[in-house]
């Protein structure tokens, strides 16, 4: 898999590309520079030079709050990560957005397995088993709030609510389900004149945080 991922990165790296809130650029010397895409043009960025520096850069947002969800749109600003080789780039992006490159490669080769929310909820055990009792109406609201790109999560939702193919939430715009759409943009707004290539952050299965949120909704209701 690492080789396939590096091939995908090389294909995207004609010049530069976006992944989530990150801009990746190739340098003339054959290395790579990563920064927050909002920081383009800033001359006061703190320099880092190891792929492993990404581990700390992803931990907290600009206000110092812990980031439980790495694909939340709150990546901290003010840094620049300079890397020498493609393997460093692959490793660092896996720290910024764990597993997302491998999922992208699987999706590109039509091998990605996608799991509906109800299936994920039905296989929960222990304290999370109760999450499966959430109603369809509640799912619609929870997913619409929790997964939204503006303030929730920058992944493109590929999964459905159930095995019948019901949309995950009618409260999300159609762009939330479109891997070609840049989730940092506002749906319906005119696209920028020029934009780098995009590697989308794909969501192939509801995450543990969403499952926990579903459980909270059910629990709150039963305790009322």
Task: Select the residue interacting with ligand SF4 from 147, 172, 199, 214 (CB under 6 A).
Answer: 147
Among residues 90 and 148, whose Cβ is nearest to ligand SF4? 148
Instruction: Single out the segment in contact with ligand SF4 by CB under 6 A; choices: 5-13, 16-24, 88-96, 149-157.
Output: 149-157
For 74, the token pair is 């709150």
Question: x-or-dash pattern for ligand SF4, window 175-204, by CB under 6 A?
Answer: ----------------------------x-
Q: Please report, for residues 74, 92, 146, 206, 216, the alpha-carbon distance to residue 170 in angstroms, rounded to integers and kept in the order given.
A: 24, 35, 13, 16, 21
Residue 196 vs 206, nearer CB to ligand SF4: 206
Q: How far is the CB of 40 from ligand SF4 (least distance, A)?
A: 25
Closest to ligand SF4 by CB, 90 vs 161, is 161
Q: Is 157 in the site for ligand SF4 (CB under 6 A)?
A: yes
Choose between 60 and 177: whose C-beta lies nearer to ligand SF4: 177
Instruction: Compute the distance between CA of residue 202 and CA of residue 178 in angstroms, rounded to an integer.
Output: 10
The per-residue DSSP string of 49-80 comes to: --TTHHHHHTTB-TTS-B-S-TTSS-PPPSEE
Strands annotated E in the chain: 16-19, 22-26, 32-36, 46-48, 79-83, 156-157, 197-199, 202-203
Q: Is 112 in the site for ligand SF4 (CB under 6 A)?
A: no
Among 207, 216, 218, 219, binds ligand SF4 (CB under 6 A): 207
The DSSP secondary-structure symbol of 154 reads -
- Among residues 11, 31, 14, 26, the alpha carbon closest in space to that of 88 is found at 31
CB atoms within 10 A of CB 193: 5
Minimum CB distance to ligand SF4 smaller for 89 or for 153: 153
Residues near ligand SF4, by CB under 6 A:
71, 146-147, 152-153, 155, 157, 203, 206-207, 209-210
């Amino acid at each position: 898999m690492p080789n396939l991922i590096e091939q995908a990165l090389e294909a995207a790296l004609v010049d530069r590309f976006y992944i989530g809130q990150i801009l990746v650029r190739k340098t003339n010397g054959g290395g790579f520079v990563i920064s927050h895409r909002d920081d383009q043009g800033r001359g006061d960025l703190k320099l880092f030079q190891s792929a492993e520096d990404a581990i700390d850069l992803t931990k907290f947002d600009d206000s110092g709050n812990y980031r439980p969800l790495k694909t939340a749109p709150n990546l901290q600003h003010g840094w620049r990560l300079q890397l020498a080789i493609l393997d460093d780039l692959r490793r660092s992006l896996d720290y910024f957005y764990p597993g997302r490159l491998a999922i992208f490669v699987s999706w590109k080769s039509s091998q990605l397995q996608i799991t509906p929310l109800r299936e994920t909820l039905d296989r929960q055990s222990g304290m999370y088993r109760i999450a499966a009792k959430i109603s369809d109406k509640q799912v619609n609201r929870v997913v619409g709030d929790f997964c939204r790109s503006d303030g929730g999560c920058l992944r493109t939702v590929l999964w459905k609510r159930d095995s019948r193919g019901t949309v995950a939430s009618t409260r999300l715009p159609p762009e939330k389900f479109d891997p070609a759409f840049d989730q940092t943009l506002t749906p319906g707004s005119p696209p920028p004149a020029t934009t780098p290539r995009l590697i989308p952050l794909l969501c192939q299965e509801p995450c543990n945080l969403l499952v926990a949120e579903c459980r909270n909704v059910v629990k709150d209701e039963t305790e009322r």
